[in-house]
Chains A and B, each alone.
Chain A
Amino acid sequence: MSERIGYKVYVDVDATFTSDGGLLPRSLVWEDGRRYTIDRIRKIERCASRRAGGAGIMYTCLVSGREIHLFYEENMRWFLESKL
Chain B
Amino acid sequence: MDRVILHSDMNCFYASVEMLYHPELAGRPLAVGGDPEKRHGIVLTANYPAKKKGIKVGMALWQAKQACPDVVFVPPRMDLYLRFSRLARELYSEYTDLQEPFGIDECWLDVTDSVPLFGGGRKIAEEIRRRIKLELGLTVSVGVSWNKIFAKFGSDFRKPDAVTEITRENYRDLVWRAPAADLLYVGRSTRKKLATLGMLTIGDVARSDPELLHSIFGKMGYILWVFANGEDRTPVSPESYVNPIKSIGNGTTSPRDLEDNDDVRTVIYLLSESVASRLRDNHFVGDTVGLWVRDNGLYSFCRQQKIGTPTNISDEIARHSMCLFEEHYPWTVPIRSIGVRMSGLHPDEYCYQLDLFSDVKAREKQFKIDLAVDSLRSRFGHDSVLRGRMYFDRVLSGLDAKAEDHMIHPHSYFESGDRTGTCRIMENLQTYE
Contacts and interface: CB of A to CB of B under 8 A. Distances in A.
Given A74-B83, A74-B87, A47 B23 contact: no
21 contacts: A6-B23, A6-B24, A45-B135, A46-B87, A46-B135, A46-B136, A48-B20, A48-B133, A48-B135, A48-B136, A50-B20, A50-B137, A51-B23, A52-B23, A53-B21, A53-B23, A54-B21, A55-B84, A55-B135, A55-B136, A74-B83
Interface of A: 6-7, 45-55, 74
A12 B84 CA distance: 24
Q: 5 tightest CB-CB pairs across the interface, nearest first?
A: A48-B137, A46-B135, A53-B23, A53-B21, A55-B137
A7 B21 CA distance: 11
B22 interface: yes
Main secondary structure of the interface of B (DSSP, over half): helix
Interface string B1-38: 00000000000000000001111100000000000000
A27 B21 CA distance: 25
Contacts of B21: 53-54
Q: Which of A46, A51, A53, A74 has the most CB of B within 10 A?
A: A53
A7 B23 contact: yes
Given A53-B20, A74-B83, 19 more contacts: A6-B23, A6-B24, A7-B23, A46-B135, A46-B136, A47-B135, A48-B134, A48-B135, A48-B136, A48-B137, A48-B138, A50-B20, A52-B23, A53-B21, A53-B22, A53-B23, A54-B21, A54-B137, A55-B20
B24 A54 contact: no
Nearest to B83: A74
Interface string B133-147: 111111000000000
Interface residues of B, number: 14
Nearest to A51: B23
Contacts of B22: 53
A51 B20 CA distance: 9
Contacts of B133: 48
Interface in B199-220: none
Q: Which of B22, B23, B83, B134 has the most CB of A within 10 A?
A: B23
A22 B398 CA distance: 44
A50 B26 CA distance: 10
B87 A49 contact: no
A61 to B, nearest CB: 18
Contacts of A54: 20-21, 137
Contacts of B84: 55
Interface in B67-89: 83-84, 87
Contacts of B136: 46, 48, 55
Nearest to B90: A46
Interface in B112-134: 133-134
A47 B20 CA distance: 12
A58 B137 CA distance: 13
Contacts of B134: 47-48
A81 B96 CA distance: 34
A47 B23 CA distance: 16
Interface in B367-384: none
